[in-house]
Amino acid sequence: MTTSDRITLYYSPQSRAMGARVLLEELGAPYDLHVLNMKAGEQRKAPYLAINPLGKVPAIRHRGALVTEQVAITIYLADLFPQAGLTPGLDDARRGPYLRWIAYYGSSFEPALIDKFMKREPAPITQSPYADCDTMLSTLEAQLAKGPYLFGDAITAADILWGIALNWTMMFGLVPRTDIFVRYAERIAARPAFQQISVADDEMAAQHAAAAGA
């Protein structure tokens, strides 16, 4: 990987961008942060909207191309560093389930939890992208029950995405703190990359709050 191959991560602390940063650390990837102070609303100002019109993080730029969406970023980065062993190869029987569970995060889990957070009446079961929230969560829980990771003994990039998502969503009271969810989330949170980025995020978030309040 040459210098021009370095990855830029558009980032804000204590946000959905944390998963992308933890994954970059897990992969040993060379990256630079482009930090946005979301407390000061920088993600909604013209310079960043010109990069990602949705004003959302994470986004990454690599070899001149922009990738947004946690799901795409997770798959892209893990594939970029196959030697890190966090992605099942194309000929691996786990490849399909691996893609399934990463996509499930964006297509089923997020819409369900946003409805729950907003206290919105979900769409009828046949129209809802996630059937109903309880079924969506119990299906996830059954997969995690096989443990210790989504696909047994070997951790993949999908576990980084899910472990961090479950840590946040249990903290917000959106996902019940069942033994399976708690133990799984703790397993991911105990990893050095997660610990290191959590500490860095706390410091960065405090700096952002101070700057935004000034």
Ligand X SMILES: N[C@@H](CCC(=O)N[C@@H](CS)C(=O)NCC(=O)O)C(=O)O
* Interface contacts to ligand X, rule CB under 6 A: 15-16, 38, 43-44, 55-58, 69-70, 106
- The smaller minimum CB distance to ligand X, of residues 36 and 155, is found at 36
* Least CB distance to ligand X at residue 23 (A): 13
* Least CB distance to ligand X at residue 119 (A): 18
- The smaller minimum CB distance to ligand X, of residues 178 and 207, is found at 207
> What are the b/e assignments for 66-96, b being 16+ CB within 10 Å?
ebbbbbbbbbbbbebbeeeebbbeeeeebee
In whole angstroms, how far apart are CA 189 and each of 61, 62, 151? Answer: 26, 27, 18
User: Helix H segments across 81-177?
Assistant: 95-104, 110-117, 133-145, 157-171
Angle made by CA atoms 133, 145, 198, in degrees to the nearest 5: 80
* Least CB distance to ligand X at residue 73 (A): 7
- The smaller minimum CB distance to ligand X, of residues 43 and 156, is found at 43
- The smaller minimum CB distance to ligand X, of residues 154 and 211, is found at 211
Angle made by CA atoms 206, 211, 212, in degrees to the nearest 5: 100
- The smaller minimum CB distance to ligand X, of residues 68 and 178, is found at 68
* Least CB distance to ligand X at residue 70 (A): 4
* Least CB distance to ligand X at residue 174 (A): 13
Cis peptide before 58 (omega within 30 of 0): yes
Cα separation of 151 and 207, whole Å? 39
